[in-house]
């Protein structure tokens, strides 16, 4: 049975949470292994809200801006209160160990499980069963990395009809032939695996950039990716600010997706400065028509071979039910407009949001 590969967006805002978006957090699961890519404040609540569960064994941090790792202390203490025993490994870019240990130890409470801290630099990888997670260099003005989940090549397609015509009994012999083993039938005939199994097929590739300006290394890692999750903090009208803060616009992310020949592009890390993200998405789709905008609660099941990547949207579905059937895009547009109003509000919340997001 093929491994299911799922991605759930837990937080899609830049710098600070907004009315409709939490800060960075991405849950990735494959065949019993669960990972968190970035863990901004409030990630533990997003995990509960969207039914991700608390089975992650690895938390991978792209860089040490607060909106990407401040959720670690709360998450670890919640897991302790629930009696967790299994260890969780914290991974960060080169030079991050001291800060991540401080985040782990914040509060002084004794954890009920081990939390080793490791560094994962460009070219390093976490090995899994049939896949690996590779770190690669990004361009964010400080030490930063992105992560690519890369599956091993898979066996070719097994020709069931031809196997039946050759008299191969269904069952264990099918599996042995598909795995590359030649077999001998009861009548003495030798059946070679190469007769029945096609050429090996490439595994899936999911690339998550974290925060970055457009850069060649991301394009190289993303070549042929089934899913590229690229930050798009700004629209084109703010491209100067994007350049100054080492971020990307939606159009820039789309151009990189075209260059890399990816199947699907999802834009995330959206600044509340955007007056609704519809214009940002339109700019991206003018370059890469399959681009879409991430929302908190968006889940993508990455397809195999020529299968489409399948999406569900828990947040929009719940909001639509409560709001009389509004579509997902309409629900998110309303949330984005509320985010803009919050930033413009002259009260404490508006001033605080503006200060926390000053670079975004």
With CA atoms as reference, report the closest residue to 151 among 136, 121, 129.
Answer: 129
Candidates 38, 67, 238, 313; catalytic one: 67
DSSP collapsed to 3 states, 83-123:
CCCCCCEEEECCCCHHHHHHHHHCCCCCCCCCCCEEECCCC
Token readout for 307 is 């299968």
Token readout for 9 is 């967006």
Contact 255, 231 (CB under 8 A): no
**Helices of type H across the chain:** 43-49, 72-81, 97-105, 160-165, 172-178, 193-196, 216-221, 239-245, 250-260, 278-285, 314-322, 328-344, 348-356
Give the single-character DSSP code of 214.
Answer: -
- Rounded Cα distance between 80 and 109, Å, is 9
- Residues 144-154 as b/e (b if ≥16 CB within 10 A, e otherwise) read bbbbbbbbeeb
Contact 250, 283 (CB under 8 A): yes
Token readout for 305 is 């071979």
67 is catalytic: yes
| Residues carrying an active site annotation | 67
């Amino acid at each position: 049975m093929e491994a299911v590969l799922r991605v759930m967006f837990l937080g899609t805002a830049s710098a600070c949470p907004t009315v409709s978006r939490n800060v960075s957090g991405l849950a990735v699961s494959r065949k019993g292994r669960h990972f968190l890519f970035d863990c901004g404040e409030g990630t533990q609540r997003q995990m509960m809200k969207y039914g991700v569960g608390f089975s992650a064994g690895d938390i991978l941090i792209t860089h040490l801006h607060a909106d990407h790792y401040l959720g670690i202390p709360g998450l670890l203490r919640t897991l302790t209160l629930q009696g967790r025993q299994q260890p969780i490994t914290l991974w960060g870019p080169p030079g991050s160990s001291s800060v991540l240990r401080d985040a782990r130890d914040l509060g002084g409470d004794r954890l009920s499980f081990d939390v080793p801290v490791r560094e994962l630099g460009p070219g390093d990888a976490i090995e899994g069963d049939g896949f690996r997670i590779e770190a690669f260099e990004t361009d964010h003005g400080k030490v930063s990395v992105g992560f690519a989940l890369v599956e091993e090549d898979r066996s070719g397609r097994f020709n069931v009809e031809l196997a039946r015509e050759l008299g191969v009994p269904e069952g264990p012999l099918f599996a042995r032939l598909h795995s590359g083993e030649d077999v001998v039938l009861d009548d003495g005939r030798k059946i070679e695996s190469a007769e029945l199994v096609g050429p090996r097929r490439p595994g899936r590739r999911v690339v998550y950039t974290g925060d970055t300006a457009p850069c060649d290394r991301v394009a190289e890692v993303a070549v042929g990716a089934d899913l590229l999750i690229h930050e798009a903090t700004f629209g084109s009208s703010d491209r100067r600010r994007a350049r100054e803060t080492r971020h990307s616009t939606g159009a820039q992310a789309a151009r990189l997706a075209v260059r890399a020949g990816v199947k699907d592009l999802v834009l995330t890390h959206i600044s509340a400065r955007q007056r609704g993200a519809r214009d940002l998405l339109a700019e991206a789709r003018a370059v890469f028509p399959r681009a879409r905008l991430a929302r908190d609660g968006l889940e993508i099941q990455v397809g195999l071979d020529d299968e489409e990547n399948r999406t569900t949207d828990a947040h929009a579905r719940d909001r639509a039910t409560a709001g009389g059937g509004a579509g997902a895009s309409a629900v998110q547009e309303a949330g984005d407009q509320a985010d803009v109003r919050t930033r413009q509000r002259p009260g404490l919340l508006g001033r605080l949001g503006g200060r926390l997001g000053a670079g975004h």
